[in-house]
Structure 1
């Protein structure tokens, strides 16, 4: 028990440090290659911070624990929006760009809708997994092409950077990304292990462990990365991290788990967790649209609403778990 507690405490401390290193590396690369911060957030941070979910869900599927895999993915999506983004904008409000409304949020809504539709027949087959992975490729292609096109116009007229300085900065950025991501995954894995050990001792069910402790643990990289990005003024990167991570969780994490082994989910996942994820995604879109239309930042009142949603969802979990 004490070893599990130490793993959680030490893992949290290392996680915070590695997130700063990771974000610094991403910012350096974004500036040197004139890549939009939002695209860095969606692709590099989204993929990188979803790596713990992918590892945990793949291992869960291989070990015959499909509910843990689904609970981890969908629980992480709920936590990413309600807790991670909510806490981030409580600390530093985010400005909403037009492309968020016209492209990125509709793509996230589409992905969420596909996830709910696939669960309608009560099973996630290998065919469903292939569809999810294929959709991931299409969505990322759209994100990359359109974001780079926008970034090209945004950075036209920028000065030329000295070759030697650029090479040095690129090496530093790549080093920060690699080291930061490696330590992020290792420390989050230690936290998840410790948390699951403690939860098992307390007698919690597999689904509840996946939706709460494992989901929170594997969402820690998103939390510290988004807060770190927002505090450094990289607001697009912070929001892109959340949207990208949720897309990867829904398509890559669940798709990979379904490819490894067909999943027959608990009916509660559809009636409670997918419902909560869908409502939360719609709420996020409505908040972003309101902030854009009124030319206000996505700020503290929205953040407080999201955090309250997380608290309500957690109470719902506890209530249904005891039934």
Structure 2
């Protein structure tokens, strides 16, 4: 049979091809529309987040002593070396680590107890949960102003209550001593942040199947054994999230200290974030202040990595 007489394959119908072209054109139009709709969000993210981050990194390598300065010589890593060789920086770092360790530990312990109480089968449990979330819902500025009034040395309700109970003989200046003031700020931070920690842990508790508790009761396991073998391993993901979030927030604490103590007395509550603020805006040393900001970022990343590594090891050991 000759080639000329060979049958050619039938061409596909025109209707399916037209339908394919219409679908492809529709997808291209949707992708083009999505791109144009994302442009305002991208501009906002670049202007609010990306540009300030890059600008701060750039300023940290220059000597910028005024917001309107035109002569800004390049100094390289000298700003970072100045930060690391400053005794005030290390003192602020020590107070920040103390604040982070104590507040995060208290919030985790109290949050776990509170989460267990919120998870109990009680009447009007919804009302109790709504009441517990109030401290976290209050803005930090308002919460700090409230606690500043509570600790007031002249008319604070804390002094009045302790005096009437006979615990103290005279009113105390709770925010007048550096060590006491730092602990009082920690107390205010724990009061505000514990409900958030409790609700994170409550989400983990509600995800634990009841069959595990029933099987443990059949085996006559004690509550410490149930907590160590069932509750704690199941809560490791929630605890990891809580520790990372609260460590980051506690390490860069600023607003509650700004309202309650302004870093005093005698720099007793000056954390690293507040020190960076005073260096940049009060002392007008933007180069060193920018370097301080990036030191804070590096330390937070290191602490988060250490947390996650330790929690991963503890999770493997509990399994």
When normalised by structure 1's length, the TM-score is 0.29
Q: Which has the larger Rg?
A: 2
The structure with the greater share of residues assigned to helix is: 1
